């Protein structure tokens, strides 16, 4: 099966030529497919954030080969792989990065090593597998080369998976952690909208947000305007996750928040 699109997600940034080199490799091998850039500003080596960005984007992308490279283990014995999901193919390192997106695409059906030299560049750098291994694989897959041609099958039970973030919803109380922070400074939590409902939080009420040694009163609402200017809001974001936003500002900067930080939300009775 061939694909018209290759999505591309990395932590390479845009200050250097890394992204262009990878896209050039793709174009030389498979000039037909178009590259759809998801993000290249994933925080450096932040595998969880890269996985979340890709997973939240893939439901809205066309059928594609999804190339993702956030790879602090490049050059080590970590595996490079192609994952076959029910609704797409993913290429990248076996470090947990691809699993959330694969689950959004219907779950992992098969996995194969990227070990066949015919589908890599002739010289493979120890530090730039995005260019020399993953981009050629994505191009060949988009051109119709079957995943099983790239290397031996991987037992999907052995795939690296990141630990699930812990969330506990109780009446009047929600304990969770920060999943990611976006470029606007909005804080996305691991808790879902269903967790928020289970805690009994209602729009129009208030909450106490305990984070980083501070307790801040927030409005519970649906959109940014439900909080006064420069006031904190608890809401469910476009990915279905509970989030914190500062109307007219950056909640992340205000709290000095980072992924993995613990958050406690206490909800007032209506």
The full set of domains in the chain, from first to last, is 5-158 (3.40.50.10790), 168-267 (2.40.30.90)
- CA–CA separation, 127 and 131 (whole Å): 10
Q: What local confidence, expressed as pLDDT, does residue 270 receive? A: 61
Residue 244 in contact with residue 250, Cβ under 8 Å?
Answer: no
Region 245-259: what's the mean pLDDT? 92
Residue 36 has pLDDT above 80, yes or no: yes
Percent of the chain with pLDDT over 70: 99
Yes or no: say if 86 and 103 are a contact pair by the CB < 8 Å rule. Answer: no
User: What is the DSSP track for 240-252?
Assistant: SEEEEEETTS-HH
* Cβ pair 241, 192 in contact under 8 A: yes
The chain-wide mean pLDDT, for the chain, equals 95
DSSP at 46: -
- Count of C-beta atoms within a 10 Å radius of residue 224: 15
Predicted confidence at residue 252, as pLDDT, reads 92
Residue recorded with tokens 């500062």 = 246
Return the structure tokens found at 236: 């469910």
Pairwise CA distance, residues 101 & 119, whole Å: 24
CA distances from 118 to 92, 115, 148, 177, 239 (A): 17, 9, 13, 44, 39
Tokens 């904190």 identify what position?
232
Summarised one tens digit per residue, pLDDT across range 120-173 is: 999 999 999 999 999 999 999 999 999 999 999 999 999 999 988 889 999 999
Which pLDDT score, from 0 to 100, does residue 21 have?
Answer: 98
User: What is the Cα–Cα distance from 61 to 243, expressed in whole angstroms?
Assistant: 23
Rounded to an integer, what distance in angstroms lies between the CA atom of residue 226 and that of residue 232? 10
Q: Is 20 helix (H, G, I), strand (E, B) or coil?
A: helix
Token pair listed for 130: 């995005």
The DSSP string of 147-165 is GGGSS-B--GGGS--PPPP
Q: What does the pLDDT average to over 24-47?
A: 96
pLDDT for 253 equals 93
Q: What is the pTM of this model?
A: 0.88
């Amino acid at each position: 099966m061939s694909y018209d699109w290759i999505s591309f997600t990395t932590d390479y940034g845009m200050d250097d030529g890394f992204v262009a080199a990878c896209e050039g490799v793709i174009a030389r091998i498979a000039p037909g497919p178009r590259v759809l850039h998801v993000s290249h500003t994933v925080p450096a080596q932040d595998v969880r954030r890269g996985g979340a960005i890709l997973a939240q984007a893939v439901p809205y992308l066309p059928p594609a080969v999804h190339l993702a490279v956030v790879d602090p283990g490049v050059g080590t014995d970590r595996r490079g792989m192609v994952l076959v999901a029910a609704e797409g193919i993913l290429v990248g390192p076996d470090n947990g990065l691809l699993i959330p997106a694969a689950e959004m695409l219907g779950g992992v059906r098969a996995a194969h090593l990227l070990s066949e030299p015919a589908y890599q560049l002739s010289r493979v750098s120890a530090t730039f597998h995005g260019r020399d291994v993953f981009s050629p694989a994505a191009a060949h897959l988009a051109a119709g080369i079957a995943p099983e041609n790239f290397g031996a099958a991987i037992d999907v039970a052995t795939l690296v998976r990141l630990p699930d973030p812990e969330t506990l919803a109780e009446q009047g109380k929600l304990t969770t952690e920060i999943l990611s922070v976006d470029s606007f400074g909005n804080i996305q939590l691991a808790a879902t909208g269903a967790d928020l409902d289970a805690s009994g939080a209602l729009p129009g009420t208030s909450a106490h947000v305990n984070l980083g040694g501070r307790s801040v009163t927030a409005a519970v609402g649906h959109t940014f305007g439900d909080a006064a200017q420069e006031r904190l809001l608890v809401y469910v974001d476009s990915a279905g996750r509970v989030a914190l936003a500062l109307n007219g500002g950056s909640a992340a900067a205000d709290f000095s928040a980072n992924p993995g930080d613990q958050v406690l939300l206490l909800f007032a009775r209506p």
